[in-house]
Amino acid sequence: MRSPLLASKSRTGLTLLTVAVAALSLSACAGNKPRQKLAYEERPVEALYNTGYQRLQSKRWMDAVDYFQEVERQHPYSEWARRAILMQVYAYYQNNNYQDAIAAADRFIALFPGNPSASYAFYMKAVCNFEQIVDVGRDQGYAEAALAGLRDVVRRYPGSTYATDARVKIDMVNDQLAGKEMTVGRYYQRANQPLGALNRYKTVINNPDFQRTSHTPEALYRLVEVNLSLGLTEEATRNAAVLGHNFPGSPWYAEAYALLNERGQSLDVKPEGKRESWLQRLIPGGA
């Protein structure tokens, strides 16, 4: 099951425009005929490439791959072959053949590392891993691979549109990884292993990348809970104060405030009440 944080392919599909040949005049290929193995026949490179592109337009992804592979086989040292590899990356990706897409991207990078279109190959490698991220209860290998790839895109091509999108996805992946730490921390806490829980929650609040995620307020609250269970009232109060200073309107701070009050501890910052909407301020009692 893929994580709900994953972006749809409609956005990434726009990147095909960066590798398409604008000068080509192509006609749409209607229908969705059953796929047949492409027989070898020596043909002009333009005909092979154009047919492959037509298959892309018809969303016949694997048929398109066949034609672009034929471009590579019959015309291996041409400009068309270079473009055909990128088109294979895109077609494999659209067909959810992520490992094949990554392999094609790696092949392009190995053959043409200095080509401007290498940015697309690096980006698509990261996206293929990004779209395989699973829920926080499972291994986060894809999330870690996606994070490394996305950071590589930002480092190599900081001013590109790929880097802009990669930065957004980096925040999403960090939220995923922080969520994993929280899941493990809660497990340790329920299992009465407070030290293991403390380490996981501290990872969330001490890691600069995780501090900006949605999990930080809960992590601080859980530290309050665990420290109180260990009799570390001063440490619990300090964590609650940090929570109140940074997230005064968070329900997690309201919980921490109430918990410490029960233990006879006071905090300087009172929890903020539920804020009225702009409509309620204009029309008392409004929605």
Query: 135: Cβ–Cβ under 8 A, 6 or more apart, which residues?
Result: 1, 3
**Cα–Cα–Cα angle for 168, 170, 175, rounded to 5 degrees:** 105
**Helix pair angle (216-229, 161-190), 10° resolution:** 20
Say which DSSP state 138 is in: S
| Tokens encoding 19 | 């590798």
Give per-residue pLDDT as tens, 9-43.
644 544 454 444 433 433 333 344 555 555 556 67
Taking CA atoms, 259 is separated from 32, 232, 240, in Å, by 63, 14, 10
Mean pLDDT in residue range 142-146: 95
**Residue 118 confidence class, pLDDT cut points 50, 70, 90:** very high
List the one residue out of 122, 90, 100, 126 whose CA is nearest residue 109.
122
**Residue 276 confidence class, pLDDT cut points 50, 70, 90:** very low
**Residue 149 confidence class, pLDDT cut points 50, 70, 90:** very high
Q: Residue 260 and residue 111: Cα distance in Å, rounded? A: 62
The partner residues of 134 in beta bridges, in order of sequence, read: 2
> Does the predicted model carry a pTM greater than 0.85?
no
When comparing pLDDT for 21 and 77, which is higher?
77
Going from N- to C-terminal start, the domains of the chain cover 10-107, 215-287
Q: Residue 138 and residue 153: Cα distance in Å, rounded? A: 26
Give per-residue pLDDT as tens, 39-64.
556 678 889 999 999 999 999 999 99
pLDDT attached to residue 40: 52
Say which DSSP state 3 is in: -
With a cut of 90, say whether residue 284 has pLDDT above it: no
List the one residue out of 155, 165, 184 whose CA is nearest residue 15.
165
Give per-residue pLDDT as tens, 158-174.
999 999 999 999 999 99
Q: Residue 167 and residue 149: Cα distance in Å, rounded? A: 11
CA atoms within 13 A on the CB side of 271: 15
With a cut of 90, say whether residue 242 has pLDDT above it: yes
When comparing pLDDT for 258 and 3, which is higher?
258
With a cut of 80, say whether residue 226 has pLDDT above it: yes
Query: How buried is 261 (Cβ within 10 angstroms: 0-12 exposed, 13-18 middle, 19+ buried)?
Result: exposed
Query: 17: Cβ–Cβ under 8 A, 6 or more apart, which residues?
Result: none
pLDDT attached to residue 278: 40
Taking CA atoms, 1 is separated from 6, 96, 100, in Å, by 11, 13, 20
Give backbone dihedrals phi and psi of 193, rounded to 5 degrees, phi first. -120, 75
Mean pLDDT in residue range 106-111: 96
**Residue 273 confidence class, pLDDT cut points 50, 70, 90:** low
Mean pLDDT in residue range 128-132: 95
pLDDT attached to residue 135: 78
